[in-house]
Chain A
């Protein structure tokens, strides 16, 4: 089966638990018919969330920008091939997901890339407990560093779930995996993050 066929099958067989409103479905249909104004409206409602998700996964402005742009370019090009407009978000999310993972694989630094935090004294960060704000900031930095050690798929899952707010059903539609598998993978990703965080402590 070709990749294109696989994609179509997945879009057809999985449903997002957040169906589009009637007005948005009309926008998708108009965009499918080649109306760029309708496409602009679809993009306007989704670009920020897509960019933030891409940034959360990739931790790089230029890459997040590239991936977001290329995702919407592909969405425009392939939109006439989307058979069910109601599944637009799952379909577009899948493209964003795959592009993020592909870029991480090409970058091939996901397991060793460090997010540097200037002025953070690793040895003393959690000893005092005197400054709650500093502690919270240090904790967030540690989580980011731990996150950078995860695999591309784990990063994408956690970012889509926690940053993009995608549900398990959404993620099933995006990744093409059954909901049970997504739950298991999310659980594993969360455990991997905790283990990596222990390494940061």
Chain B
């Protein structure tokens, strides 16, 4: 039989903590960034108030005392019985959909009134909800290189009913939805894969010399950002080949607007309008960095960012005017005609956002720590998370808007 030494702190440290030197150009890159990037403004500094010398001070004292009394009264009320408006609506209160055995007990913080945890649908490790199609929730599993289709009407509260293998992948599969065809970027095989979402089959594959990060389309033309390769590619799907390539350091977001305008954004913080055919830069503006995706939304473009940074919008007809930053920081984003939804980057809470300003309107405490990925389908929100230590999709019903 095998003989193993006991697992000690030292063996863990020695096994995981290899003696790696930080790349020298990384230090210079950080230094250069600090010399060229403006800092966020700090909080206003308020000096200590001299309460005895000002009338304002007495008012503040009175207001503070009043607030303390109210808090005390609220605490006593809470001890006697919870206010009904803060009570979580349990799944049993939803007659139309039966709860699954995986439903998480409502032991966490109270939810806002009207929000319901409908069910937990088992998923596989690595599954992440990414899109909606005709009421179905589409799930990408990058580690398996496959798409999964979750039917809200199957099983008890929903069920994954089909899995479609696409090819080797290591990152979240970028998807581009059309009426009868989807394009999915597969970075392992360096392909654009056309999927028939109704038949749930692969229609064809186009090899591209790049690792797809984000996709956008205009007719038969698909624009692909290749983050690792630092390039943007123009793929003519009618010819099954790449027709133009442009360099763009850490190319991240790309969007094609209704008028054919193509915008690309780099992670370090540039937004450029490029020529749809040659990919040459037409205009460029500096924006805040950490860009993930660009989303066309009528007369504006929404810019989503890596978790800790802010959502923003920009007018595509006047990109020189710069972006409008919101205070909302999210790790996942979904947009519907009536509303916008997100996952709080730090707490994992489900957020309903103001459709216009993208500010947080409602915050729903997370059911599990790992909440990430959100889609609105069949009137409900579908959020990847955990229940009883296993991966699930939380089905959450918001109140009517």
Hey, which bits of chain A sit against chain B, CB under 8 A? 1-4, 6-7, 32, 34, 36, 39-40, 43-44, 47-48, 50-52, 55-56, 62, 65, 68-70, 72-74, 76-81, 83, 95, 98-99, 102, 105-109, 111-113, 125-127, 129, 139-140, 143-144, 147, 151-153, 158-159, 162-163, 176, 190, 193-194, 197, 201
Contact = CB atoms under 8 A, between A and B. Distances in A.
Interface stretch (B32-40, B73-81, B87-95, B159-167): B32-40
Interface stretch (B1-9, B50-58, B276-284): B1-9
Interface stretch (B22-30, B64-72, B197-205): B22-30
Which 5 residue pairs are nearest across A and B when measured between Cβ atoms?
A80-B42, A126-B2, A163-B17, A109-B143, A143-B15
A77 B141 contact: no
B11 A102 contact: no
Interface string B133-146: 00000000111100
26 contacts: A2-B329, A3-B328, A3-B344, A3-B347, A7-B346, A36-B34, A39-B31, A47-B22, A56-B18, A65-B23, A73-B37, A76-B30, A77-B40, A95-B308, A98-B308, A108-B127, A108-B141, A108-B172, A111-B126, A140-B11, A140-B14, A143-B15, A144-B16, A153-B370, A163-B16, A193-B12
Contacts of B344: 3, 6
A43 B21 CA distance: 14
A3 B42 contact: no
Contacts of A77: 37, 39-40
B41 A80 contact: yes
Contact of A69 (B13, B15, B26, B37): B26
Contacts of A109: 126, 142-143, 170
A44 B27 contact: yes
- The binding surface of chain B is classed by DSSP as loop
Contacts of A126: 2-4
A51 B30 CA distance: 13
B309 interface: yes
A81 B44 CA distance: 9
Given A74-B308, A102-B331, A162-B12, A151 B30 contact: no
Nearest to A59: B16
B106 interface: no
A106 B40 CA distance: 27
Interface string B109-146: 00000000000000001111000000000000111100
Contact of B346 (A3, A80, A147): A3
B360 interface: yes
Given A6-B347, A56-B17, A153-B369, A105 B31 contact: no
Nearest to A155: B16
B4 A98 contact: no
Contacts, number: 182
Contact of B26 (A51, A153, A158, A193): A51
Nearest to A80: B42
B270 to A, nearest CB: 14
Given A40-B34, A107-B142, A68 B331 contact: no
A39 B369 contact: no
Interface in B310-354: 327-331, 344-347
Given A4-B329, A81-B40, A194-B7, A107 B33 contact: no
B118 to A, nearest CB: 23
A36 B12 CA distance: 37
A73 B289 contact: yes
A172 B164 CA distance: 42
Q: Which of B2, B15, B360, B370 has the most CB of A within 10 A?
A: B15
Contacts of A158: 12, 16
B237 interface: no
Interface in B238-277: none
Contact of A112 (B26, B143, B360): B143
Contact of B4 (A56, A73, A139, A193): A139
A139 B4 CA distance: 8
B34 A162 contact: no
A144 B15 contact: yes
B4 A201 contact: yes
B37 A108 contact: no
Contacts of B11: 139-140, 143
